Chain A
Amino acid sequence: MKNVWTIYRREIAAYFNSPIAYIIVVLFVMILSFIFFIINDFGGQTQPFIRGYFTLLPWVFAIFIPAVTMRLWAEEMRAGTIELLMTMPIKSWEIVVGKYLAAYTVILICLLFTLPAPLLAATAVTDVDWGALFTTYVGAAVIASVYIAFGAWISTFTHNQIVALLVSMIVLLVVSFVGFPPFTLYLNRLAGLGNFLSWFGTYYHFQEFSRGLLNPVGFIYAGSVTVFFLVLNNMFVEGRKY
């Protein structure tokens, strides 16, 4: 675990010693606030539901998380530091987990800076559903884990960060789209395929959380998918040794 911590600190420093983490956090907060206050016109609503702040979160994540994960392996490969890393007395899974946790921390910081929006909005609104707000944050953290594991794995494919970014975005948008009601209904024509597939997408699970429900299955889903892609990630990294 000591090695995981070392890698984690190194990655965190890499994020915050460059402007990238700050730009991501600023844009993330601005875009969510813009959607909530300007596009959805929070002030003009008759029933101002605060959890509406996260309505488009799966799609926003699908765009921002690749920006965090793109450099995890692509940068190492481009700079040639991966060889150095692989020769160190550290197991490959420790590097994978350390990098994953660092990226996850950046996203959690993004979520942390969104807190003023619902908290301040709650001062102007009656009957705030704090339970649903709490579970929405839990849900956001849960699906972020899935997206980061996915993005980190895709980053092992290429030396080019832009390629990693674009491929991750496309894949994560598809993952977000699976479970989206019109898509599900369309696929349901094929013997309920839509309902079955929706379970593998993040939309369905995030919606459960955002309604105020803590579904253990949602945690198991996120845990399984995260472990699955971290194992794949490890396989790809370990494969480079030989």
Chain B
Amino acid sequence: MADSKQYRMKFYQTSIILLVLVAIVLVFLGLTADRTSRLKVDLSRDQVYSVSPATVKILKNLKDKIDVEYYYSKKLATFQVNLLRDTTDMFEEFRRLSGGKFQYRVIDFEEAVDDFAASKADEYLRKKEEAGADESKLDELEPIPPQSPMSLFNQREQPPTPKQVRDNRARLASEIAKTSKDRTEKEAYRDLLYKEFREKYEQERQLEGISAYIYTERTGSSVQQIEMYSAIKLDYIGRQSEVILHRSMESLEYELCHALVKLTTDTKPSVAFFDGGKPAAPPFDPRNPMQRPPMSEYQGIIGALSGLFNMQETSLKEGDSIDDLVVRIKKEMARKEREARGEDPYAEEDEEKYKEIQPADYQLIRCFIVAQPQNLNERQIYEINRAVSLGIPTVFLVSPYTMDVSEAGMREGFPIQVMRPGLEEMFRKWGISLGDEMIASNEMGILNVETPVNLFGRRVMASMLRPIACVVAPWGDAINQESAYTNRVPLMVFPAAAGLKVDEDALKKNSLEHETLVHSPEESWKVKIDPFAGMGQRNPFMPSQGGGPRVLTEEDLVQRKNPESFRDFMPETPLAVALKGKFPFVYEGESVPSWPKEAKEPGGGDDDAGDWSQVLDADDPLPAEEASGPEAADAADPAEAEPGTMPFAVEETGAAEAGGTAAPAAEPAGAEAGAVEPAEPAGAEAGAIAPAEPAGAEAAAPPAPAPAAAPEEAAEKAHLEPVEGRVIVLSSVDMLKDQFLRYNRQFQGYQMNAEFINNIVDLFGLDDSLAQIRRKTISSPRFKSDTKNTVRWIQAVNLYLVPLVIALIGLGRLVWRRQASESYERDFIRRQQSS
């Protein structure tokens, strides 16, 4: 018995010790669960739950605390059921990786509104009782909705005074109490107060960028609209908050890192932006001192990128060259360094030391965007080539065509302006050339088109969204999803694109690698643009009407082609190409082109603006082109023009010789640029080959293509050792213009264009960190085509056939067992009987 007792005691002791040990292990693991996430093995298809090394780097480099608030709604769409958990998991991972600097709070928006409104209403009522008759003490507590920055400009929208708000509430409470049997005036007053505080809270969050969005959820039999909140607010030491509208986990890591970099970056990387079509600043007008300099047509993109980058616009003119830009950036950096050291940032110092530029200094320009180059002079081409060969990653938005989709342009049927970038020779030597015909496709983007509408029996013109064939919208397989540049860009828009030709041999010879990022969709075709189309229809009394090629008058540029009857679909043509390698410097060993002589304003104003008689200088081929007569045609001869002149220049010459029609396309664009006054007379008088000239540029009188007779005496020999660089050539100048991007709400492709350039600049400018994160995608499963019956069949198999098979197996086994049992019994009885 003693042995049994001892055994029992020993057994229980051992068991309890084991239980305690296991429990300790469990609690320990539970407490350290947050720190064990690094042990996870991510087998998911897209490795979405593994934080990129780039993210780890960003988080480890955080210098100060980041406060993150995630506002969510309990009621989310079905596809978002795990959003809260996954988001919290990611935040937790970020917190751990940042060493606690990433601090987050998860806030149920509805609950937060209720708590805020209830506590404020109670506090208000308490203070109201304390204040007694002196209600002015409540002024500070009144729930007056915050004013939006825009409403400050609207004088009519004056906010109500606290007294007005109070009196109004008291009046309403009194009215409610009179009409309602179950509510006293005090209760009604509290309810109104509560509602006002709710609205105030919601509006305050809305001003921060946190607002509800409606999601329409469709199930098999119903459609339900869900209003929900899902927004992340990030705050960093006194800087303006960043808000992310959080819809899915797919891009959260990137968006968080993007916001973190944006908030915490002290020195933004510099991005140079050259807009070849931007009108030069007009001379200072003392009568209008508030006159603003002309804006780039890419202002929206410049603004969007300036959140993360130091956007430096350059005109590539004397005094504003790439070297000048580098000097400016160096000075700015030195100033900031002095400021950080607590010294006077504007102290006088030796300017000369900045002017010595080392090759590494060019890397201060992290990206160079060359947008709509037009009639570039030799020195500008030299500057661009030099920048690329020095290893500055460069993006070209280049095309022989642009279309005017401004309000004026819409009324004109979208005039097409023929462009002459001037970079063709340089591109050709690298191994790339521009297409010469405009591409149209059955995959179309949309534009607002003025359309006749019958309104109460009257025919009026109304602008309506309509797909246009020459606004090519590649998607799916037409966009390279393997590339970091185009990753997560499902759809894009290339208006007025001519495509690119890739010369594999030339690229190989130059040891340049290339990658097609976007090619034309399957059902696309080419349309030859006649720069003189409709010239005869020009209205002499209204020079802005008629003449010049227009999108809407060319059926091929507008209408869809029936794939069953149309046989001229073109093969896939690159619309965007990425190049990598050491780009040849085409000026190597040649004289450095001198800066062209600029027309000087007599009054000492801006070089490019003002007196048009000055512009019509005999040394300057541009005015010569604008002059009528055979001289103009000679001056425009492509053989004598700058390298890479487009073939259509020959036609221009011919036309000019034939009689010199007026410049039709110049005017609408000029009108758009706000430079109609000088442009029109020039165009009208000259009547020559102005299709090649942008009216905006005309109005501003840009430097003409560099004359071949540039002064030789001061010319030094160009020499440069090319370094590894990257170039992206996009074959549409319009794809990022504000005029097109304004359609981003109506057509996702425009938004994706912005996303695309953002990808590129992130990749070039932020040392690959954000781009590495961006490469991650969550593949979205979809049903294969024609699988409706297959799914029904699968459903039937799993719901009925599989259970039936199991049941039959069970039944079979039972029958077999019964038979075996009976047979055993029979055998047993037989054996018994025989024995």
Q: Which A positions have Cβ atoms within 8 angstroms of B?
A: 16-17, 19, 21-23, 25-26, 29-30, 33-34, 36-38, 41-44, 46-50, 113, 116-117, 120-121, 123-132, 134-135, 181-182, 185, 196, 199-200, 207-208, 211-217, 220-221, 224-225, 227-228, 231-232, 234-235, 238, 242
When the two chains form their complex, are residues B794 and A125 in contact, meaning their CB atoms are under 8 A apart? no
When distances are taken between beta carbons in the complex, the residues of chain A under 8 Å from B132 are: none
Distance in angstroms between the alpha carbons of A212 and B49 in the assembled complex: 8
When distances are taken between beta carbons in the complex, the residues of chain B under 8 Å from A124 are: 783-784, 787, 790-791, 794
Given A113-B806, A181-B84, A212-B49, do A17 and B817 touch, yes or no (CB 8 Å)?
yes
Distance in angstroms between the alpha carbons of A213 and B784 in the assembled complex: 27
When the two chains form their complex, are residues A121 and B22 in contact, meaning their CB atoms are under 8 A apart? no
When the two chains form their complex, are residues A196 and B782 in contact, meaning their CB atoms are under 8 A apart? no
When the two chains form their complex, are residues A126 and B781 in contact, meaning their CB atoms are under 8 A apart? yes
Interface: B30 (CB within 8 A): yes
A63 to chain B: closest CB distance in Å?
17
Distance in angstroms between the alpha carbons of A117 and B801 in the assembled complex: 11
When distances are taken between beta carbons in the complex, the residues of chain A under 8 Å from B18 are: 227, 231
B785 to chain A: closest CB distance in Å?
10
When the two chains form their complex, are residues A127 and B30 in contact, meaning their CB atoms are under 8 A apart? no
When distances are taken between beta carbons in the complex, the residues of chain B under 8 Å from A214 are: 40-41, 43
The residues in B between 78 and 106 inclusive whose CB is less than 8 angstroms from any CB of A are 79, 82, 84-86, 106
B144 to chain A: closest CB distance in Å?
32
Known pairs A22-B806, A196-B30. 16 more at Cβ < 8 A? A19-B810, A30-B803, A116-B798, A116-B802, A117-B794, A125-B784, A126-B782, A127-B45, A132-B43, A185-B106, A200-B26, A214-B41, A215-B41, A220-B25, A224-B25, A225-B26
When the two chains form their complex, are residues A125 and B782 in contact, meaning their CB atoms are under 8 A apart? yes
B108 to chain A: closest CB distance in Å?
7
Distance in angstroms between the alpha carbons of A227 and B106 in the assembled complex: 36
When the two chains form their complex, are residues B49 and A211 in contact, meaning their CB atoms are under 8 A apart? yes
Give B1-31 as 1s and 0s: 1 = Cβ < 8 Å from A's Cβ atoms.
Answer: 0001000100110010011001101100111
Distance in angstroms between the alpha carbons of A220 and B40 in the assembled complex: 13
When the two chains form their complex, are residues B8 and A231 in contact, meaning their CB atoms are under 8 A apart? no
When the two chains form their complex, are residues A22 and B807 in contact, meaning their CB atoms are under 8 A apart? yes
Interface: B603 (CB within 8 A): no
Distance in angstroms between the alpha carbons of A46 and B811 in the assembled complex: 40
When distances are taken between beta carbons in the complex, the residues of chain B under 8 Å from A121 are: 791, 794
When the two chains form their complex, are residues B794 and A120 in contact, meaning their CB atoms are under 8 A apart? yes
When the two chains form their complex, are residues A44 and B220 in contact, meaning their CB atoms are under 8 A apart? yes
When distances are taken between beta carbons in the complex, the residues of chain B under 8 Å from A25 are: 806
When the two chains form their complex, are residues A113 and B802 in contact, meaning their CB atoms are under 8 A apart? yes
When the two chains form their complex, are residues B802 and A29 in contact, meaning their CB atoms are under 8 A apart? yes
Distance in angstroms between the alpha carbons of A242 and B43 in the assembled complex: 50
- The 8 Å CB contact of A120, one of B30, B37, B797, is B797
Query: Looking across the interface, which residue of chain B has its beta carbon closest to that of A23?
Result: B810
Distance in angstroms between the alpha carbons of A4 and B789 in the assembled complex: 49
When the two chains form their complex, are residues A34 and B799 in contact, meaning their CB atoms are under 8 A apart? yes
When distances are taken between beta carbons in the complex, the residues of chain B under 8 Å from A131 are: 43-45
Most buried by B among A185, A207, A234, A242: A185
When distances are taken between beta carbons in the complex, the residues of chain B under 8 Å from A208 are: 40
A215 to chain B: closest CB distance in Å?
5
Interface: B788 (CB within 8 A): yes
Distance in angstroms between the alpha carbons of A213 and B795 in the assembled complex: 28
When the two chains form their complex, are residues B26 and A221 in contact, meaning their CB atoms are under 8 A apart? yes
When distances are taken between beta carbons in the complex, the residues of chain A under 8 Å from B49 are: 211-213
Given A182-B74, A217-B29, do A129 and B798 touch, yes or no (CB 8 Å)?
no
When the two chains form their complex, are residues A221 and B810 in contact, meaning their CB atoms are under 8 A apart? no
Query: Looking across the interface, which residue of chain A has its beta carbon closest to that of B86?
Result: A211
The residues in B between 310 and 369 inclusive whose CB is less than 8 angstroms from any CB of A are none
When the two chains form their complex, are residues B781 and A181 in contact, meaning their CB atoms are under 8 A apart? no
When distances are taken between beta carbons in the complex, the residues of chain B under 8 Å from A235 are: 11-12, 15
Distance in angstroms between the alpha carbons of A227 and B802 in the assembled complex: 34
Majority SS of interface residues in chain A? helix
Distance in angstroms between the alpha carbons of A161 and B147 in the assembled complex: 68
Distance in angstroms between the alpha carbons of A73 and B12 in the assembled complex: 20
When the two chains form their complex, are residues A221 and B806 in contact, meaning their CB atoms are under 8 A apart? no
Distance in angstroms between the alpha carbons of A225 and B27 in the assembled complex: 11
Given A37-B798, A213-B43, A242-B8, do A22 and B22 touch, yes or no (CB 8 Å)?
no
When the two chains form their complex, are residues B806 and A231 in contact, meaning their CB atoms are under 8 A apart? no
Query: Looking across the interface, which residue of chain B has its beta carbon closest to that of A123?
Result: B790
Interface: B813 (CB within 8 A): yes
Most buried by A among B4, B46, B803: B803
Given A120-B798, A199-B29, A200-B30, do A125 and B781 touch, yes or no (CB 8 Å)?
yes
Interface: B562 (CB within 8 A): no
Query: Looking across the interface, which residue of chain A has its beta carbon closest to that of B790?
Result: A124
Give B120-142 as 1s and 0s: 1 = Cβ < 8 Å from A's Cβ atoms.
Answer: 00000000000000000000000
Interface: B42 (CB within 8 A): yes
Closest 9 CB pairs of A and B: A212-B44, A22-B810, A131-B43, A127-B779, A124-B787, A199-B30, A43-B791, A129-B45, A33-B798
Distance in angstroms between the alpha carbons of A181 and B334 in the assembled complex: 51
- The 8 Å CB contact of A128, one of B41, B781, B797, is B781
Interface: B460 (CB within 8 A): no
When the two chains form their complex, are residues B782 and A224 in contact, meaning their CB atoms are under 8 A apart? no
When distances are taken between beta carbons in the complex, the residues of chain A under 8 Å from B458 are: none
Query: Looking across the interface, which residue of chain B has its beta carbon closest to that of A33?
Result: B798
- The 8 Å CB contact of A30, one of B33, B85, B799, is B799
When the two chains form their complex, are residues A44 and B219 in contact, meaning their CB atoms are under 8 A apart? yes
When the two chains form their complex, are residues A213 and B41 in contact, meaning their CB atoms are under 8 A apart? yes
Given A121-B794, A125-B781, A127-B782, do A29 and B45 touch, yes or no (CB 8 Å)?
no
Interface: B292 (CB within 8 A): no
Distance in angstroms between the alpha carbons of A124 and B786 in the assembled complex: 9
Distance in angstroms between the alpha carbons of A19 and B806 in the assembled complex: 11
Query: Looking across the interface, which residue of chain A has its beta carbon closest to that of B92?
Result: A195
A168 to chain B: closest CB distance in Å?
20
Interface: B745 (CB within 8 A): no
When distances are taken between beta carbons in the complex, the residues of chain B under 8 Å from A36 are: 798
Write 11 A-B pairs (CB below 8 A) sorted by A numbering. Answer: A22-B807, A33-B802, A117-B794, A117-B798, A121-B791, A121-B794, A124-B794, A128-B45, A212-B49, A213-B49, A215-B37
Query: Looking across the interface, which residue of chain A has its beta carbon closest to that of B19?
Result: A231
When the two chains form their complex, are residues B43 and A217 in contact, meaning their CB atoms are under 8 A apart? no
A38 to chain B: closest CB distance in Å?
8
Query: Looking across the interface, which residue of chain B has its beta carbon closest to that of A17?
Result: B817
When the two chains form their complex, are residues A26 and B807 in contact, meaning their CB atoms are under 8 A apart? yes
When distances are taken between beta carbons in the complex, the residues of chain A under 8 Å from B304 are: none
The residues in B between 32 and 59 inclusive whose CB is less than 8 angstroms from any CB of A are 33, 36-37, 39-46, 48-49
Distance in angstroms between the alpha carbons of A105 and B387 in the assembled complex: 69
Most buried by B among A23, A181, A200: A181
Distance in angstroms between the alpha carbons of A207 and B89 in the assembled complex: 11
Interface: B780 (CB within 8 A): yes
When the two chains form their complex, are residues A129 and B44 in contact, meaning their CB atoms are under 8 A apart? yes
When the two chains form their complex, are residues A242 and B219 in contact, meaning their CB atoms are under 8 A apart? no
Given A22-B807, A29-B803, A213-B43, do A43 and B795 touch, yes or no (CB 8 Å)?
yes
Distance in angstroms between the alpha carbons of A29 and B74 in the assembled complex: 31
Given A43-B792, A127-B45, A212-B49, do A22 and B40 touch, yes or no (CB 8 Å)?
no
When distances are taken between beta carbons in the complex, the residues of chain B under 8 Å from A199 are: 29-30, 33
When distances are taken between beta carbons in the complex, the residues of chain B under 8 Å from A181 are: 84-85
Given A33-B798, A44-B220, A182-B74, do A207 and B40 touch, yes or no (CB 8 Å)?
no
When the two chains form their complex, are residues A211 and B44 in contact, meaning their CB atoms are under 8 A apart? yes
Distance in angstroms between the alpha carbons of A238 and B8 in the assembled complex: 9
When distances are taken between beta carbons in the complex, the residues of chain A under 8 Å from B106 are: 185
Query: Looking across the interface, which residue of chain B has its beta carbon closest to that of A182?
Result: B74
When distances are taken between beta carbons in the complex, the residues of chain B under 8 Å from A232 are: 15, 19
When the two chains form their complex, are residues B4 and A242 in contact, meaning their CB atoms are under 8 A apart? yes
Query: Looking across the interface, which residue of chain A has its beta carbon closest to that of B5?
Result: A242
Query: Looking across the interface, which residue of chain B has its beta carbon closest to that of A132?
Result: B44
Query: Looking across the interface, which residue of chain B has its beta carbon closest to that of A125?
Result: B781
Distance in angstroms between the alpha carbons of A182 and B782 in the assembled complex: 30
When the two chains form their complex, are residues B45 and A43 in contact, meaning their CB atoms are under 8 A apart? no
Given A37-B798, A214-B41, A235-B12, do A125 and B25 touch, yes or no (CB 8 Å)?
no
Query: Looking across the interface, which residue of chain B has its beta carbon closest to that of A26?
Result: B803
